[in-house]
């Protein structure tokens, strides 16, 4: 999606070699117009699928998941990372490993909000090693539901998550696909490839 | 706002005497259509004010703040409760007390995203003791900006936050104003009052 790639080039910052900071428009300050366009793009891509629910993980998946759900006109559910005071009813729980925090964390959804009749579109802001996505997929499976597709804002294609999940048969649509970083610059897939002429 | 009050009556659950659980539509599963209506209602109320930014606090303020910002066509910023790996630039920091967790927590925004030229609409899902709102107001003040108004989904009018903030001169618009709970039922302000006829 060109508007997102342009924004990443303009306002994204590469820090510590391989961390892309998109706080300016995606996960601290939110460019709501861009976010709604991104939601519409993911909706257009999956609009032929019988999606009943959009599922994401708190915190930074919420804004894009809401935009996607708005166009599908279905509820959005965000999985929680910690036990909440009001999350006292039975929950589906799965585990993910955080490479940045170097520890396991739990991801949970109240069983009332995922069911065997759900065709779930899983949405997140980043896909790198795929730990969060795998935990979300696991929640949908526990509920007996179907994963109708996966929509991602920014995929780091040089990390293994996307490839692993595609090999398992999941369909992933990513709005911006990063091939790597060079001298603090973002290189998207298809960029810097040999031209035909 | 009648649609929200109806939804609270239908799907809200009062637990432990005075906790209103709205996980079914507001802060775990999200009724996105209702959320967009709520955003539009807050927009309509404050549309004559020169709002440049919508500010909320992660996690459960994000969805409604995004809906409000969508109608204002301005950026949304969500303050963070914890130090993030990518939040390495200078931040405004303020402190709030959590009555449920019985401890202080810090609330921070990257200084790049609030400035002295901002007229900020602060939005949150709940207003009870006002601790979170006071911390957000403090961040706006640190930036030298102006609080253009406060928009709340659900105000617990029997707790002190709303009254204290109004006495300090802040304008608060709440979509649903809860007077109290009786036998596990929600009583809104204006309900159960003596009728004229």
Asked if residues A128 and A161 have their Cβ atoms less than 8 Å apart, the reply is yes
Among chain A residues, the shortest Cα distance to B101 is held by A85
CA distance B67 to B62: 9
Residue B9: in which H helix or E strand, if any?
helix B2-11
The answer to whether A100 contacts chain B (CB < 8 Å) is yes
Asked if residues A92 and A143 have their Cβ atoms less than 8 Å apart, the reply is yes
The answer to whether B90 contacts chain A (CB < 8 Å) is no
The answer to whether A75 contacts chain B (CB < 8 Å) is yes
Write the CB contacts of A10 (distance below 8 Å, at least 6 apart in sequence).
none
Residues of A in contact with B74 (CB under 8 A): 32
What does the block give as tokens for A31? 């460019």
How far does chain A reach from its first CA to its final CA, in angstroms?
Answer: 24
DSSP 8-state assignment for residue B1: -
**What is this model's ipTM?**
0.93
CA distance A164 to B105: 38
Distance from CA of A27 to the nearest CA of B (A): 8
Among chain A residues, the shortest Cα distance to B70 is held by A32
Nearest to B60 by CA among B142, B154, B148: B154
Residues of B in contact with A87 (CB under 8 A): 23, 28
Per-residue pLDDT of chain A (197 residues; tens, 9 = 90+): 999 999 999 999 998 888 899 999 999 999 999 999 999 999 999 999 999 999 999 999 999 999 999 999 999 999 999 765 555 689 999 999 988 788 899 999 999 999 999 999 999 999 999 999 999 999 999 999 999 999 999 999 999 999 999 999 999 999 999 999 999 999 999 887 555 54
């Amino acid at each position: 999606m060109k508007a997102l790639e342009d924004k990443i080039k303009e306002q994204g910052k590469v820090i510590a070699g391989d961390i892309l900071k998109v706080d300016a428009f995606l996960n601290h300050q939110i460019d709501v117009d861009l976010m709604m366009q991104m939601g519409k793009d993911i909706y257009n891509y999956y609009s032929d699928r019988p999606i009943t629910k959009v599922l994401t993980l708190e915190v930074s998946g919420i804004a894009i998941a809401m935009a996607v759900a708005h166009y599908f006109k279905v509820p959005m559910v965000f999985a929680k990372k910690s036990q909440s005071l009001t999350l006292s009813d039975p929950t589906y729980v799965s585990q993910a490993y955080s490479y940045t925090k170097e520890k396991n964390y739990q991801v949970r959804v109240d069983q009332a909000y995922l069911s065997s009749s759900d065709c779930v579109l899983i949405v997140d802001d980043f896909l790198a090693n795929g730990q969060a996505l795998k935990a979300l997929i696991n929640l949908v499976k526990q509920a007996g539901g179907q994963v109708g597709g996966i929509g991602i804002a920014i995929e780091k294609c040089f990390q293994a998550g996307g490839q692993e999940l595609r090999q398992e048969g999941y369909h992933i649509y990513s709005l911006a696909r990063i091939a790597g970083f060079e001298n603090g610059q973002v290189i998207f897939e298809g960029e810097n490839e040999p031209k035909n002429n």
